[in-house]
Amino acid sequence: MGMSESEIISKNIDITVRKMKFVMGTNKTKRYWHNDSPFVSTFWSALSTAFPEGERFFMDSGRFYKDDINDPILKEQLADFVRQEAHHTMQHKKLNSLMDDFGYDMEKYDGWFGGLLGKVRNKVSQRMQLSASMALEHFTANFAHQYLANEKFTEGVDAEIKALWSWHAIEEIEHKGVLFDIYNETKGGYIERVVTLPIAWALVLGITFVAQADMLAKDGKLLNVSDNLKGLWYLAGYDGMLTNMIPSFIRYFKPDFHPWDENDMELIEAWQAEYSDHIINLKAVA
Ligand SMILES: [Fe+2]
Ligand SMILES: [Fe+2]
């Protein structure tokens, strides 16, 4: 059987490990750094606490199959995927510690994600762990796509924090095929692939929303009705971030689905043109 067009794109993509520089934690950063909105700022901050544990889980579930991968290109892509994810965590910890300085208990939320993933590691097969990681890579790649493709989602965001999220976004797009290709190369099946999707998305969003509510409660903003409504519209309204992800959520159930069926490489190129000054290695590429 020949390779599909999406598999060819995936195989040819050069996963670039960029070392980044973000200046965060200056006293210029606003508490509500996303467009002065408590709801949206705490949403993104809560999601950011998922990364240290989440990305470690993704790396481990891919690395488990390292010796079963025959394709040398895919082996190399796995190594670069791991390098990218490790660097994401390192940079997101800066944002998390900034939120910690603002008085939010980021360690507590990190522990919620860690507790859940610890249970998954103990109780779920490696195959299903890989499947769950793929489901969440599909989640991050789609968030990334929305974040970059529609300017309204980044309106009024602190410049450095926007730089962090948009860098993370392009690398999530860049490596979105890696775990998926490993799964296919190691003969993963359809049912095990799709069954984790709704569960994984619901759990991550669920914990994020509880952490977000905890942050808003701490600030006495939980009942800030107008900001909450605006924030919910941002996420789940017409043309909202999560609303726009529904079609690709559904597409994942197609038997011949591949993450690169959606070719959004131009988002990476556009980012590269705008943010190359934040990259501290790869001067020649930039
Ligand atoms: Fe990441
Ligand atoms: Fe990722």
How far is the centre of ligand 2, averaged over its atoms, from the C-alpha of 139 (Å)?
9
State yes or no: pLDDT of 276 exceeds 80: yes
**What was the pLDDT predicted at 20?**
92
How confident is the prediction for the chain on average, in pLDDT? 95
Residue 4 lies in a domain: no
**What was the pLDDT predicted at 24?**
81
How far is the centre of ligand 2, averaged over its atoms, from the C-alpha of 176 (Å)?
7
**What was the pLDDT predicted at 277?**
86
Residue 84 lies in a domain: yes
How far is the centre of ligand 2, averaged over its atoms, from the C-alpha of 140 (Å)?
7
Residue 6 lies in a domain: no
**What was the pLDDT predicted at 284?**
47
Residue 63 lies in a domain: yes
CA dihedral for 150, 154, 156, 158, sign (positive or negative): negative
State yes or no: pLDDT of 286 exceeds 70: no
Q: Which ligand is nearest to the CA of 259?
A: 2
pTM: 0.96
How far is the centre of ligand 1, averaged over its atoms, from the C-alpha of 17 (Å)?
12
Residue 29 lies in a domain: no
- Residue whose tokens read 């390292």: 66
**What was the pLDDT predicted at 283?**
55
How far is the centre of ligand 1, averaged over its atoms, from the C-alpha of 132 (Å)?
15
**What was the pLDDT predicted at 1?**
60
What is the chain's percent helix, strand, coil content, to nearest 5? 70, 0, 30
pLDDT tens across 105-151, in order? Answer: 999 999 999 999 999 999 999 999 999 999 999 999 999 999 999 99
As a whole number of angstroms, the distance between CA 237 and CA 92 comes to: 27
**What was the pLDDT predicted at 195?**
98
Helix (H) or strand (E) holding 97: helix 72-101
Residue 202 lies in a domain: yes
State yes or no: pLDDT of 78 exceeds 80: yes
Q: Which domain holds residue 153?
A: 34-278
Q: Which ligand is nearest to the CA of 177?
A: 2
State yes or no: pLDDT of 153 exceeds 70: yes
Q: Which ligand is nearest to the CA of 172?
A: 2
Residue 2 lies in a domain: no
How far is the centre of ligand 1, averaged over its atoms, from the C-alpha of 38 (Å)?
24
In the chain, the amino acid numbered 171 is E
Counting the structural domains of the chain, the total is: 1
CA atoms within 13 A on the CB side of 215: 33
How far is the centre of ligand 1, averaged over its atoms, from the C-alpha of 104 (Å)?
22
How far is the centre of ligand 2, averaged over its atoms, from the C-alpha of 280 (Å)?
21
How far is the centre of ligand 1, averaged over its atoms, from the C-alpha of 225 (Å)?
32
State the pLDDT confidence band at 28, using cuts at 50, 70 and 90.
confident
Residue 219 lies in a domain: yes
How far is the centre of ligand 1, averaged over its atoms, from the C-alpha of 85 (Å)?
5
CATH of the domain at 113: 1.10.620
